[in-house]
A and B are shown apart, each in its own frame.
Chain A
Amino acid sequence: MTSGAELACPKCKRTLGPDSWADAQHGACAGCRADFEFIPFPALHATRAQVIAQTAVLSEESVCFFHAENRAEAICESCGRLLCPVCTVPFGGKKLCPSCIAGSKGSEDPTVARDRVLFDSIALTLAVVPLLIWPFTLITAPAALGLVIYGWNKPNSLVRGRGRARLVIAAVIAAIEIGAWIALGVTWWVRS
């Protein structure tokens, strides 16, 4: 039986001492008394090959952008910077530099995107929900149409693979609402 590396209770973060383990895969945290089941994988005890950067010896050798003393052995597939093995980060099938990964906030690249705004859902909600209190559609209908135009070429959900159907529906509903307001305005003007 292996007790494994020192681990922390996922609930209370206290180290799971020997008294927390009933067997290799079950136990109860001595701190918070939470029963847990532990399923280990090879990476728990495995090690990775050590990355050693080669020192640039010759003056004409390409050097790493971040470590001028290290020989460059890869190129960042995002920004094109030369990288030593220490700075080369395999990420989503690409080799990237730490700067590109750190700067991925707001990126539209599906490999590194951290979040996405769902313009189609917002536009559809703006077009439909205000119908409950229809005078608000005077404002929300143009807003919905504007969002449809703005979000037309924006990337959608990373996982759900939605097309533009919602945007089209929102645009149609918003256009009908705007048309109704125009008709209402014309009718009122004619009568007055």
Chain B
Amino acid sequence: MFMGDTQEGGLLHKFISLFELPRDVILDLPKATLLGDVQMVVENHKGLLEYTPARLRIRTSQGEVCVVGAHLRIGSLFREELVVEGRIDSVQFNRRG
């Protein structure tokens, strides 16, 4: 499991670390949880950019997450949570800007 990285707000970062606050909520970061290569849960997403059985691009606050594989399907799709199922070959973060 990993969240999108942030360098901004050193003071904010220290504040979050000091009080052990959830970074994904405070900093609006996407949280992706990978289960082997068969399932991936993405929380705090901002919508779909592209969906085909071979590729899925998901918009996030920091850019996009690109999932490449085969027989990809969307297990469930809700406002801020997306479950990708199928054979996942690679996951790539593409930063905006």
Q: Are chains A and B native binding partners rather than an unrelated pairing? A: no
Residues of B within 8 A of A (CB): none
Residues of A within 8 A of B (CB): none
